[in-house]
Chains A and B, each alone.
Chain A
Amino acid sequence: MSISEKTSLAQEPALVVDDVVKRFGRGTEIVTAVDHVSFTVRQGEFVSVIGPSGCGKSTLFNIIGGLLSDYEGAVKIGEERISAPHPAVGMVFQEESTFPWRTVIDNVAFPLELQGVAKSERMDRAHHFIDMVGLASFEKAFPSQLSGGMKQRVSIARILVSQPKILLMDEPFAALDEQTRLLLGDKITQIQQELNQTTLLITHNLTEAVQLSDRIVVMTYRPGQVKRIVDINLPRPRTSDVVGSDAFGHYVAEIWNDLREEASRGMADSESAASRRATHG
């Protein structure tokens, strides 16, 4: 393959989100959660979708993951429109999702077990990805013996083991403290670079999005629309050291400018809803 062919392949979108609309409810009670959202994710690229609570991020996550099939527009991998979970998409959920009755290695090997991969091979592959997320000495441990951050790393290894084309993550570090979050960000960046893993992260955390991403899709408050797509031109390979740089601060400030208005609308909306509830008992 020539260099130009490789370059064009790298530029080819791994995932296309094309004019996606999702409405919930019926009659006069219809709420538009996602409103004509379009963007692409290129091969090997790390894209984050950021927005205030209520902007339809999780709805978008479920649509791209194939868990919500009834939507307008198209989410495409190649030419295929996603309307059910797709083997090319590996999902990491916000809530802790390890199986408490399985050891770390059995958790990670689980997708391979479903595919009928021979035991020795699935153990080898699971071992490789456990090592990659830095849990080699915890293979025989049960999730109850691990911290929140370690459990999320198990979930990530469990998805990586089946080598999905696209890693789709919904606020995987939301329940973790800031320091663990930064360190796990390093781990994710390292893995993403090592595997050239196409990744789409759904988050409401501004610093996390800037630390990890090549591009950030900024969403508006309800109905969720794309407000702006920001290219993050921070050097790679990247570590959490980048957090101290001027450029990082510049990106955070720039995106916050976009988000502040949306977050304020969201806050005003929830305050008026709370006030209505209080008035009507």
Chain B
Amino acid sequence: MAEAFLRRHTPELFGLATLLVCVLGFEALIRGGVVNRYIIPPPSDILLAFERVIVEENILARCRDTAFEMLVAGGASVLVGVPIGVLLYRSALWRRAMEDWIGALAAAPIVLAFPLFLVLFGRSPKTIIVMGFVHGLAPIILKTVEGLASTRPVLINVGRSLKMTQSQMFWKILLPSAMPIIFTGIRLSWTFVLITIVGIEYLINLGGVGQLINELAERYDLPGTYAGICFVILVSVLFFLALERVESWLQPGR
């Protein structure tokens, strides 16, 4: 039974073992003086700082705030991005006119435009959410267009031969066929959204984990800062696990 468990979970166990080896390697390099402990604190110190940031800094509530902002901005990116992608797919003129601009938007360092958003929305979670949403929009639009355009012609011909209506064709063939590529867009988008949200929280010193990391860094509490960063990774992992669940629920058999 143990053998079967090992065989089934080899990749996960191998990943954990690699992480553990890296952590132990850093610990040895830092304690041996090869890496400056005032730049990277020893992993054991970071581990010990976890309790402190949870109890004293109330990081779980901060994570909740960041997760909420992420959920709203990421969800809005999907709700707005997918329909825009569909509209661009349907209109060749709009697609040709807009695709490069949207690509440029995806590559732009939107975080740096935070003063403008502060003026528009004030120093509030609204600014953080809107900036996350704007940065997350482009990958979803582009990947929705790409996914719909890459539907295999034979599947469209099957639909035509069955005399499907435009609406049936969209909901029953085009959208399910495009789903894997749209999900790639969502994954990219949510990465952008999280980076933007934590970055803006850090820059305007407001809200969730980003603000806490800023405060801990200002206090020069390096183990606490790195522990905070670990919680950002945790939020990210939770979102991507949830996304994976939704993806496999929406696309069984793939």
Interface residues in chain A, defined as those with a beta carbon under 8 Å from any beta carbon in chain B: 65-67, 84-85, 87, 89-91, 93, 95-97, 99-103, 110-111, 114, 142-145, 162
- Complex partner residue of B160 from A67, A96, A99, A102, CB under 8 angstroms: A67
Which residue of B has the minimal Cβ distance to A90? B161
B155, B168, B177, B252: the one contacting A114 at CB < 8 Å is B168
Q: Is A144 in contact with B253, judged by CB distance below 8 angstroms?
A: yes
CB pair B154–A93 under 8 Å, yes or no, is yes
On whether the beta carbons of B162 and A101 are closer than 8 Å, the reply is no
For A102, what are the chain B residues with a Cβ–Cβ distance below 8 Å? 253
Q: How far is the CA of A2 from the CA of B168 in the complex (A)?
A: 44
Chain B: minimal CB distance from A77 (Å): 14
CA distance A101 to B164 in the complex (A): 18
**How long is the Cα–Cα vector from A66 to B161 in the complex, in angstroms?**
7
B48: shortest Cβ distance to chain A, in Å? 47
Residues of B within 8 A of A (CB): 152, 154-155, 157-158, 160-164, 168, 172-173, 176-177, 179, 251-254
Question: Please, how many angstroms separate the alpha-carbon atoms of A67 and B156 in the complex?
Answer: 11
5 interchain residue pairs of minimum CB distance: A142-B253, A91-B161, A95-B154, A101-B176, A97-B154
Give chain A residues whose Cβ lies under 8 Å from the Cβ of B160.
67, 85
B168 surroundings in chain A (CB, below 8 A): 114
**Interface contact B158-A93, CB-CB below 8 Å:** yes
- Which A residues lie within 8 Å of B161 (CB)? 65-67, 85, 89-91
- Contact assessment for A67 and B253 in the assembled complex, using a CB-CB cutoff below 8 Å: no
B154 touches A85 (CB 8 A): no
- Structural contact, B176 and A99, CB atoms closer than 8 A: yes
Closest Cβ neighbor of A65 among chain B residues: B161
B224 to chain A, nearest CB (A): 46
CB-defined contacts of B164 to chain A, threshold 8 Å: 114
Chain A minimum-CB-distance residue to B173: A99
Extra contacts besides A114-B164, A142-B253 (11): CB < 8 Å: A65-B161, A87-B163, A90-B161, A93-B158, A95-B154, A99-B176, A101-B176, A101-B251, A110-B162, A114-B172, A142-B254
- In the complex, the answer to whether B252 meets A101 with C-beta atoms within 8 Å is yes
Identity of the chain A residue whose Cβ is nearest the Cβ of B152 in the assembled complex: A95
| B177: chain A residues within 8 A (beta carbon) | 99, 101
Identity of the chain B residue whose Cβ is nearest the Cβ of A89 in the assembled complex: B161
Q: How far is the CA of A85 from the CA of B161 in the complex (A)?
A: 5
Q: Could you say which residues of chain A place their CB within 8 Å of the CB of B154?
A: 93, 95-97
Q: How far apart are A148's CB and chain B's nearest CB, in angstroms? A: 14
A-B contact pairs, 11 of them (CB 8 A): A66-B161, A67-B161, A85-B160, A85-B163, A87-B163, A93-B157, A99-B177, A101-B254, A110-B162, A110-B172, A144-B254
A103 interface neighbour in B157, B158, B251, B253, Cβ under 8 Å: B253
| Nearest CB in chain B: distance from A153 CB, A | 15
Bound Cα distance A110, B164 (Å): 11
